[in-house]
Amino acid sequence: MGIVNVTPDSFSDGGAHASTETALRHCEQLLKEGADILDIGGESTRPGSPAVPLDAELARVLPVVREAVKLNVPLSIDTYKPEVMRAVLDLGADIVNDIWALRQPGARELVAAHPSCGICLMHMHRDPQTMQAVPMQGDVIPEVLSFWAAQLTQLHALQIDPSRITLDPGVGFGKTVAQNFALLGRQRELLGAGYPLLLGWSRKSSIGAVTGIEAAGGRMVPSVAAAVLAVDRGAAVVRVHDVRDTVAALAVWRAMKATAPQAQTEQTKEESA
C-alpha cells in the first residue's frame, strides 16, 4: 500500500504532494514502483496535529480520487469522517482506512450500507492531539485484541461481511516505543483475531528512536526492514512511503521463502543419513 499524503503538513514528506497534480504524479510513480494499493489521505494524523475541517479535507481529497479511480487500482482513503467516506465511495474508492475504527457517529452505518467496500479498523489510544502526550500503559497486545473484538461486534451486528475487514494495530498511535516494538515482536498473536493485518511502520518516530535517525525522510532502510519483518510475521498489507525499496526487499524475502521446503527436505535427508 503506497502512501499518498494530500496534505501540507505530513510528518514524512512535508506537503510534497499537496496539490492535485503532484498527488496524481505520485500515484503514478508509486504504481510504477510496484504498489498494489494506493492510500490517499487529506488530514495529517501525526501526534499533536490539529483536526482538519470537513470542507478542507473534501477539497484536498476529492479531486485526487476523481482522477485516481481512472488508474484502475484499488483505492484506499485514509479518513474518519463519514461525509468524506460517502463522497469518495460515490466516486469509486474501494477501501475506507479509518484511524478511529468507525467510531465517529454514522461511520459504521455508512459502510454497512455500502455493498462491498473494504474496511480497515485501526487501534488508537485517545486521539491524535493527545495520544503521545499520554500514551497507553500496560501490555499492548491484549488491549489491542480487546479493542478489535468490541469494534467487530458492532460491525457484525450490522451484518457486515467479515471478508471486507482488515485490522491495523496502530503503530505509533498512543503507544510507547516499547509497545510499538512489542506489536512487531508478538505480531503473530494479533493473527488470533482471525482477520488480515495491515501494518504501518514506515518512517515512524519509534524507528527514529531506536536508530537515532531524526529526519523522517532518512528512515527508509529501517522502515523497509520493519516492513519485511511485519510480512514475515503474517502481515497481509504493509503501508509504506518507499514502495520501490520495500518491493525489492520483499522480493529477496520471497526468494528465501521459496527455498524453505527444499532446504527442509535436504536437512531431513541429512538427518536420516
Q: Which residues does the annotation mark as catalytic?
A: 204, 239
What order do you get walking across the sheet with 165-168 strand by strand?
A: 2-5, 38-41, 75-78, 95-98, 118-122, 165-168
C-beta of residue 12 within 8 angstroms of C-beta of residue 203: yes
Q: Which residues pair with 41 in a beta bridge?
A: 5, 78
- Write out the three cell numbers for 234: 503474517
User: In 10 A of CB 226, how many CB atoms?
Assistant: 26
- Chain centroid to Cα 170, Å, comes to 8
Cα separation of 207 and 223, whole Å?
Answer: 7
Cα separation of 9 and 7, whole Å?
Answer: 6
Please give the torsion angle defined by the CA atoms of residues 150, 152, 158 and 163, in that order, rounded to the nearest 10 degrees.
180
Cα separation of 227 and 218, whole Å?
Answer: 16
Cα separation of 2 and 99, whole Å?
Answer: 17
- Write out the three cell numbers for 188: 503473530
76 membership: H or E segment, kind and range: strand 75-78
Q: Provide φ and ψ at 38, rounded to 5°.
A: -110, 135
